[in-house]
Amino acid sequence: MKICTIAGTRPEIIKLSQLIPLLDRKYDHLFVYTGQHYSTNMRDIFFSELNIRQPDYDIDSKSSDISKLEKELYSILQNERPSYVLVYGDTNSTVAGAKAAKRIESKLIHIEAGLRSFDLRMPEERNRKFVDSISDYLLTPTNLTKTFLEYEGYKNIYVVGNPIVDACMGYLPKALKRKTRSGLGLNDEFILITLHRQENVDNKFVLKKILKHLETLEYQCVFPIHPRTKKRLEGYGIKLPKNIQTLEPLGYLDFLNLLYHSTIVLTDSGGVQEEAITLKKPCITLRETTERWETVLMGVNRLFPPLNSQESLSSVVDETKGKYNHIQKLKNPYGNGDSSKKIVKVIEKITGE
């Protein structure tokens, strides 16, 4: 039985890091990397730190163009003819892989299916809904996301948790041995910031508004800056507030170290919201909506729309910081670190092996 896993971005590398070896042991397993994320600090460091084997095919596309990626992936899949193709999440590589898989009539398995922000302005929302619509099997993180899929009329749904928990818990002991926090001279209370989504950084007015909010915070703020965000800041001629310390993009171990030691995290990333609940850290999401509704419903993740909030970011930070004791008592809705094993069991059931 030949199975192919397709990935192309840093978050996918992290989330698949503990699933790939399990599939390697069980199946004739191909791993294809598209190169949507390709720079050393967005790709190579993650393969190295997380001890992930090199892909069987590395397209090295240096592109997020779906048509270009689909053409390359179709050529590989047509030659290899896997019975099943696994794609993850909502990236352009995911869409391209899903379309190529259907063209060669492979069965398509979508991991992290069913997430919904209910905002079709987001390309990620359009991507995930499209991939769900053409998938044969939908592996979803929680009972809530399963409910979304059921309301949309889908079948063949399996709740498996999210492999980000496997990665986060698995690599944390190694991450805590690093001296990331102390090396940066951070005190006992600091805020970790991540910011990269196009609706936030590709609009000069929105980006300036976010920085105005951040300027009001009376905390040390550390900001591993995404290449996209850095490029926009330079292009717009925007200077960061003095309370923000920028870093080049971090490897996963250094990022986990900072997240673990942080007081609170401010982010527009979906994965960071999941990592925050896993490490019991209060979170503020700098968006109007989210796909991680579980954390909002649990009261440990606050939405803060940069343009439309009726509250100051400073007051929201203080309120959210007060959730620390509450979050320590909560069960992680995304699982307890065995999602990769659950995914393999579902695939065994699907394939009849």
HEC letters along 252-289: HHHHHHHHHHCCEEEECCHHHHHHHHHCCCCEEECCCC
In order of 23, 164, 165, 213, 308, the CA distances from 337 in angstroms are 17, 8, 5, 35, 36
The DSSP code for 36 is: S
Q: Can you give the residue ranges of every domain in the chain?
A: 2-162+335-351, 170-328
Pairwise CA distance, residues 289 & 320, whole Å: 17
Provide the whole-model pTM.
0.95
Average the pLDDT over 190-214 and give the result: 95
Mean pLDDT taken over the chain: 95
Average the pLDDT over 194-204 and give the result: 93
Q: How many other C-beta atoms lie within 10 A of the C-beta of residue 146?
A: 18
pLDDT band at 45 (very low <50, low <70, confident <90, very high): confident
pLDDT of residue 46: 84
111-162 pLDDT, tens digit per residue, is 999 999 999 999 999 999 999 999 999 999 999 999 999 999 999 999 999 9
Cβ-proximal residues to 59 (8 Å cutoff; 6+ apart), any chain: 32, 33, 34, 35, 69, 72, 73, 76
Does 260 score more than 90 pLDDT? yes
The helix (H) or strand (E) run that includes residue 231 is helix 227-236
pLDDT band at 61 (very low <50, low <70, confident <90, very high): confident
With beta carbons less than 8 A apart as the criterion, state whether 4 and 85 touch. Answer: yes
pLDDT of residue 44: 80
Average the pLDDT over 79-101 and give the result: 98
pLDDT of residue 107: 98
Does 283 score more than 90 pLDDT? yes
298-314 pLDDT, tens digit per residue, is 999 999 999 988 899 99
Does 39 score more than 80 pLDDT? no
Does 40 score more than 70 pLDDT? no
Q: Tell me the percentage of the chain whose pLDDT exceeds 90.
A: 89
The helix (H) or strand (E) run that includes residue 17 is none
283-318 exposure pattern, b = at least 16 Cβ within 10 A, e = fewer = bbbbbbbbbbbbbbebebbbebebeebeeebeebbe
pLDDT band at 36 (very low <50, low <70, confident <90, very high): confident
With beta carbons less than 8 A apart as the criterion, state whether 273 and 292 touch. Answer: yes
pLDDT band at 63 (very low <50, low <70, confident <90, very high): confident
Catalytic site positions: 196
Does 12 score more than 80 pLDDT? yes
Q: Tell me the percentage of the chain whose pLDDT exceeds 70.
A: 98
pLDDT band at 41 (very low <50, low <70, confident <90, very high): low
Cβ-proximal residues to 268 (8 Å cutoff; 6+ apart), any chain: 194, 195, 196, 197, 200, 285, 286, 287
Tell me, yes or no, if the two domains 2-162+335-351 and 170-328 fold the same way.
Answer: yes
For the sheet containing 283-285, what is the strand order? Answer: 244-247, 220-224, 190-193, 264-267, 283-285, 301-303
CATH number among 3.90.850.10, 3.40.50.2000, 3.30.70.20, 3.40.50.12280, domain 170-328: 3.40.50.2000
With beta carbons less than 8 A apart as the criterion, state whether 176 and 257 touch. Answer: yes
> What number does CATH give the domain 2-162+335-351?
3.40.50.2000
Assign 293 to helix, strand or coil: helix
The strand pairing partners of 140, in sequence order, are: 159
